Amino acid sequence: MMKLTSPLFVNNGSFPERFTCDGEEVSPPLNISGVPDGTVSLALVLRDPDAVEGIFVHWILWNIDPKTAEIKAGYAPDGAMFGKTTDGKLRYVGPCPPSGTHRYIFSLYALDTAIYLNEGDTVEQLDAAISGHVLEETELLAKYR
């Protein structure tokens, strides 16, 4: 079973401030394990489903090497492509809820294909490209106020 974890927070725990707009706003460290056989690439999306105007996408990466076991804080894996966040950036955008506690869901997808999109494409384009190609999916959730 594929797992996505972080050495700095537990699933359903608190998002560390360093990785938010109140801190350094760098991407948090993540660990990947149990990638299924036959995986050609991985994709990662960070969404805030509690955003005022619908789901806010904070980070989109695809064509991550399936042998990747660790994503270091502040870095994207070599060779990964960036998609466009909700606010139009081609990078990680840290949590910054205007009020209340928001959930931030990291979704990791094991895919049976490489993704042929252009850097800067949207999460909707990624969702369409991975449709029918997901071997396994896992999530890691963190909360921030």
End-to-end alpha-carbon separation of the chain, Å? 31
Interval 71-120: pLDDT, tens: 999 999 999 999 999 999 999 999 999 999 999 999 999 999 999 999 99
Binning pLDDT at 50, 70 and 90, where does residue 145 land? Answer: very high
What pLDDT is stored for residue 16 in this prediction?
Answer: 95
Q: Tokens 């695809």 map to which residue?
A: 62
pLDDT-derived band at 45 (thresholds 50, 70, 90) equals very high
| DSSP secondary structure string for all residues of 11-62 | TTEEPPGGGSTTTT--PPPEEEE-PPTT--EEEEEEEETT-TTSPEEEEEEE
pLDDT at 71: 98
pLDDT digits (tens, 9 = 90+) for 118-127: 999 999 999 9
Q: What is the DSSP letter of 66?
A: T
pTM of the model: 0.97
- How far lies 42's CA from each of 79, 83, 95, 96, in Å? 11, 14, 23, 26
Cβ pair 134, 110 in contact under 8 A: yes
The mean pLDDT value of the chain amounts to 97
Residue type, 95: P
Share of the chain above pLDDT 70, in %: 100
Stretch 19-28: mean pLDDT, rounded? 97
- pLDDT value of position 95: 96
3-state secondary structure 67-88: CCCEECCCCCCCCCEECCCCCC
Confirm or reject CATH 3.90.280.10 for domain 3-144, answering yes or no.
yes
Predicted pLDDT at 65: 98
